[in-house]
Structure 1
Amino acid sequence: MDQLLQHIANALILGGTYALLGIGLTLILGIMKVVNFTHGELYSFGGFMAYFFVSALGWNFFLAMAVSIMLGILLGACIERVFLRRMRNADIDSTMIVMIGCWIALQNIALLIWGGVAKSVPTPFSTEPLIIGPISISWLRVFVLGAAMILILATYLLINKSPLGKAMRATFQDRETASLMGININAIYTVTFALGSGLAAAAGALLGPVFVVTTTMGNMAALKAFAIVILGGLGSIPGAAIGGFILAFAEELGSGYVSSGYRDAMGFILIILVLMFKPTGLFYVRGERIG
């Protein structure tokens, strides 16, 4: 029982960052209908920015986290403005090729700048863990879970309670009608891609100090983000959030009770099962608006 409780605690912490990845990708896929192959690289970008500001420049850890997320938002806006806006009316195959090219370019730029050696991000947290009964959790992981939950809640409120979110939901439902009603579709697309990119960068910045930062860390993160979207159902922010936690639980319990070597495989086995019995995702409702 003690071991099970520890696995549950670990899964909750990991699930928060997985949820950020999934929400960011489901926004981009749902509103823009773009398969964002750069999502994993934006995740690693957040991790490297956190490393650069904390280790190289000696910035305050929490300030570095905030600036890393903001730069992820800015990079996402640049990618949308420079590459995707030109492809607005192109077929999906051409858009996918452009995004694959961006993914390869970003990964190789990161390799050129940072090299192939893994980087560790120092933190101000005590090495003494928080002990709650049989559960032992580092204070860094507690911070990661808290920050992830705040970002998830903020995104949900933005989408569902703000005028910007209303415009994004209208664009998701019917782009042409939204445009006729005066919504600037180009601006909505830029904001959507920037927001999704910022959430991916946030996940990388938060998990970078927990593990290590590498130039290939985004590869598996991107696959997991797509898996979370499949689990939750396209266009559902609560579904993406819950899907992130489901995937984290599948991985944590699978590695704990089956084999750590099958950690990543357990999540994708779950995806296959979901696709077999509910291809639209666990929380998809036909005609449901994004939110």
Structure 2
Amino acid sequence: MAEFLQHAVNMLILGSTYALLGIGLTLIFGIMRIVNFAHGELYAFGAYFVYLVAAVCGLNFFLAILVAIAAGCLLGALLEVVLLRPMRGADIDTTMLITIGAMIVMQNGEQYIWGGVAKSVTTPFPATPLVVGPVAISWLNVFAFVASLTLIGASYVLINRTKLGKAMRATFQDRDTASLMGVNVQMIYMATFAIGSALAAAAGALLGPIYVITPQMGNIASLKAFAIVILGGLGSIPGATIGGFILAGAEEIGAGYISSGYRDAMGFLIIIAVLLFKPTGLSARVERIG
């Protein structure tokens, strides 16, 4: 029972950051109809930015997290304006190639700047874990969990309770009608890509200090982000949240009760099962972001 509780806690912590990845990707695809293969590199960008601000510049760790999220938001806006906006109206294959190109450039840029050696970030949290009954949790994991839930809640509020969110949902449902009603679709696209990128960078900023930071970390993050969106259903933020926790739970079961080598395999077996029996995802919503 103690082992099961430990795995359950690990699942909650990991699932909350996976949910951030999934929410960012489902926003971008749902509203812009863009398959963003650079999403994982935005995750890596957030991790490296925390390392830059906290380890290299020696600034406050919590400030580094906020700066990394803001930098991810700005980078996303830049990518949308420079790379994607000129291709507006192009077929999905073209935009896929653009995001693949961006992914390759970003990954090689990280390799060139930081080298291939893994980086780590020193945090202000004590080494002694928080012990609750049979469960031990590091304080860094507690912080990552609370911060992730805060960002997930903020995403819900943004999409469902703000004027920007209403415009984003209108653009998702019918871009042309939204434009006729006065919605600045170009601005909505830029904001959507910026917000999705910020959420990916946030996930990297929170998980990077827990593990190690490498130029290849974005590859598996991209695969997991797409897996989460497939599990939850395109266009559903609650679905992306649920999908993140399901994927994390499957990975914990695979690592804890089978073998650590099956951590990733278990998650993708779940995806195959979902695609076979419910191809639209577990919580798909028709013509709706939210």
TM-score scaled by length of structure 2: 0.99
User: Identity over the aligned pairs, expressed in percent?
Assistant: 66
Q: Which residue of 2 aligns with 1:149?
A: 149
Instruction: Provide the rounded CA distance (Å) in 2 between the counterparts of 1:171 and 1:90.
Output: 18
Question: How big is each residue's C-alpha offset from its partner over 1:48-73, in whole Å with a ceiling of 9 and x where there is no partner?
Answer: 00001111111000000000000000
| Equivalent residue letter for 1:290 | I
SS of the residue 1:102 aligns to: helix
Which residue of 2 is the match for residue 188 of structure 1? 188
**Structure 1, residues 96-119: CA drift from partner, whole Å, max 9, x if none?**
111111110111111110100000
Give distance in 2, aligned partners of 1:158 and 1:188: 13
- Conserved 8 A contact 2:11-2:248: yes
2:117 & 2:212 partners in 1: Cα distance? Answer: 10
Q: Are residues 1:57 and 2:57 paired?
A: yes
What is the aligned partner in structure 2 of residue 68 from structure 1?
A: 68
Instruction: Give the deviation of 1:286 after TM superposition.
Output: 2.9
Tell me which residue corresponds to 1:89.
Answer: 89
Partner of 1:243: 243
For 1:81 and 1:15, the matched residues in 2 are separated by: 31
Measure the CA separation in 1 of the matches of 2:60 and 2:68.
12
2: CA distance, partners of 1:27 / 1:208: 23
Take 1:240 and 1:172, find their aligned partners in 2: how far apart are those partners?
16
User: What amino acid does structure 1 have at the position aligned with 2:41?
Assistant: E
Q: Does 1:264 pair with 2:243? A: no
Per-residue deviation at 1:89?
A: 1.0
> CA–CA distance in 1 between the matches of 2:54 and 2:94?
39
Which structure 2 residues correspond to residues 24-43 of structure 1 after superposition, within 5 A? Answer: 24-43=24-43
Is 2:234–2:285's contact at 8 Å kept on the other side of the alignment? no
Give a deviation string over 1:199-235, Cα, whole Å, max 9, x none: 0000000001100110000000000000000000011
User: Structure 2 unaligned runs (5+)?
Assistant: none
Q: Tell me how far apart the structure 2 counterparts of residues 278 and 59 of structure 1 sit (CA, whole Å).
A: 47
Q: Which amino acid aligns with 1:76?
A: G
C-alpha distance in structure 2 between counterparts of 1:186 and 1:114, whole Å = 34
- Secondary structure, in 3 states, of the residue corresponding to 2:136? strand
Q: Within 5 Å, give how 1:137-216 maps onto structure 2.
A: 137-216=137-216
- Secondary structure in 1 aligned to 2:131? strand
Which position in structure 2 is the counterpart of 1:223?
Answer: 223
**1:4-40 CA distance string (max 9 Å, x none):** 0000000100001000000000000000000001100
Q: How many residues align?
A: 290
- Given that 2:235 and 2:285 are in contact with CA atoms closer than 8 Å, whether structure 1 keeps it comes out as no
**1:4 matches 2:8:** no
Q: Give the letter aligned to residue 153 of structure 2.
A: L
Amino acid at match of 1:172: F
SS at match of 2:179: helix
TM-superposed CA distance for 1:253, in Å, is 1.1
For residues 276-291 of structure 1, the aligned pairs below 5 Å read 276-287=276-287, 289-291=288-290
* Cα-Cα RMSD: 0.6
1:236-257: CA deviation from partner (whole Å, max 9, x where unpaired): 1011011100100000011100
Task: Indicate the SS of the match to 2:206.
Answer: helix
Write the letter of the residue equivalent to 2:17. T
Question: For each residue in 1:160-181, what CA deviation from the matched residue of structure 2 results, as whole angstroms up to 9, or x when unmatched?
Answer: 0000000000000000000010
TM-score (norm 1): 0.99
2-side partners of 1:54 and 1:116: how far apart? 19
Mapped to 2, the partners of 1:278 and 1:285 lie a distance apart of 13
Matches of 2:231 and 2:43, distance apart in 1: 20
List structure 1 segments (4+ residues) > 6 angstroms apart after TM superposition: none
